[in-house]
Amino acid sequence: MPELPEVETIRRDLREAVVGQRITAVAVSGLRSVRRHPDHRVFASGLEGRTLLEVGRKGKYLLWRLDGGQALVIHLGMSGQLLLAEEATPPPPHAHVRLGLSGGGELRFVDPRTFGQLFLSRPRSSGTVPELAHLGPDPMEDRLEEDRFASALSRRRTMLKPLLVDQRFLAGIGNIYSDEILFAAGLRWDRRAASLSREEAGTLYRAMGRTLAAAIRARGSSLADAQYRDLFGAPGRYQLQHRVYGREGLPCPRCQAPVVRQRWGGRSSFWCRVCQS
């Protein structure tokens, strides 16, 4: 699933390539992709003729402000891609939503597994989207101070990895970056959050910021399934810098002990038994 760095990469691409253009046509062939709307025609009529203003992000969600006060919310789900192409180019399979643009291009929402979605919302006066009110703070966008983060950890007996991927606690982190963050911080995935010292909590906070920033600079991670692509169809590069994720049995880059894969609750954690305590 695309996580915060992948979605942020797409947001920045959209800001440069699409903002200011008008939506001239909307085609919906996959009704599940607009399932929050009672009818796909309601979705289409709400978009046609609208100008795309600023584009924001909350965790793994893209938030496009439209003239008229509404916002287009996009969640890529497990396999979603948002691709910009020439309108004359034949769309790929599973292009469930297509938006024609006044600049001559076409935005295509491609989603083979159909877990992603697009929907229109009317943000509150504060700018928040009601449907996303359950999300915790975004580590890169919200003012998440180190003391506040440490205090939040001290009140949780949950293990660190399940806590980091809990979107109600922090919005945007998933399997890949939780493992990379915990390795950078030298902490086991199954440590109880409340067991961290103030110093360890600060180390985790700084590792989170550094890891996410580095992944954004590398334009995200594209794994072997090749499902993540940026707006122009190019893969990310951060997978070349992964230190533990997906590296079961390979030597730890710090101590050379083999990286371990441990399964829990239908997920996996990759970590080093020597370097993470």
On whether both 117 and 158 belong to a single domain, the answer is no
On whether both 41 and 115 belong to a single domain, the answer is yes
What count of other Cβ atoms lies within 10 Å of the Cβ of residue 265? 7
Residue 143 has pLDDT above 90, yes or no: no
On whether both 8 and 113 belong to a single domain, the answer is yes
pLDDT on residue 170: 97
Q: Is residue 276 part of a domain?
A: no
Last residue of a domain, one of 69, 101, 132: 132
CA 241 to chain centroid, in Å, comes to 18
Last residue of a domain, one of 82, 101, 132: 132
Residue 105 has pLDDT above 80, yes or no: yes
User: For all residues of the chain together, what is the average pLDDT?
Assistant: 96
Q: Residue 99: CA atoms inside 13 Å, Cβ hemisphere, count?
A: 26
Q: Which of 77, 73, 119 is nearest to 94 (CA)?
A: 77
pLDDT digits (tens, 9 = 90+) for 196-255: 999 999 999 999 999 999 999 999 999 988 789 999 999 999 999 999 999 999 999 999
In angstroms, the CA 59 to CA 140 distance is 9
CATH number at residue 38: 3.20.190.10
pLDDT on residue 225: 80
pLDDT on residue 232: 97
Q: Which of 181, 131, 145, 141 is nearest to 161 (CA)?
A: 181
pLDDT on residue 224: 85
CA distances from 237 to 55, 72, 161 (A): 23, 28, 24
On whether both 121 and 177 belong to a single domain, the answer is no
pLDDT digits (tens, 9 = 90+) for 164-207: 999 999 999 999 999 999 999 999 999 999 999 999 999 999 99
pTM of the model: 0.96
On whether both 66 and 185 belong to a single domain, the answer is no
Mean pLDDT value of segment 2-25: 97
On whether both 128 and 153 belong to a single domain, the answer is no
Residue pair 28/107 in contact by the 8 Å Cβ criterion? no
Residues tagged active-site: 2-3, 60, 267
Domains of the chain: total = 2
CA distances from 166 to 98, 138, 224, 248 (A): 31, 12, 25, 24
On whether both 69 and 176 belong to a single domain, the answer is no
| Six-digit token string for 42 | 């309601």
On whether both 123 and 15 belong to a single domain, the answer is yes
On whether both 82 and 168 belong to a single domain, the answer is no
Which residue segment(s) compose the domain that 15 sits in?
4-132
Mean pLDDT value of segment 48-71: 96
pLDDT on residue 58: 97
Residue pair 82/108 in contact by the 8 Å Cβ criterion? yes
pLDDT digits (tens, 9 = 90+) for 35-54: 999 999 999 999 999 999 99
pLDDT on residue 4: 98
What is the percentage of the chain residues whose pLDDT exceeds 90? 94
CATH number at residue 266: 1.10.8.50
Residue recorded with tokens 């007996």: 157
Q: Is residue 137 part of a domain?
A: no
Mean pLDDT value of segment 12-17: 97
Q: Which of 14, 79, 84, 12 is nearest to 226 (CA)?
A: 79
pLDDT on residue 126: 84
CA distances from 134 to 63, 137, 268 (A): 15, 10, 25
Residue 1 has pLDDT above 90, yes or no: no
Q: 3-class secondary structure for 226-256?
A: CCCCCCCCCCCCHHHHCCCCCCCCCECCCCC
Q: Is residue 140 part of a domain?
A: no
Torsion region of 195: left, alpha or beta (phi above 0 gives left; psi -120 to 50 gives alpha): alpha
CA distances from 197 to 154, 184, 203 (A): 9, 16, 10
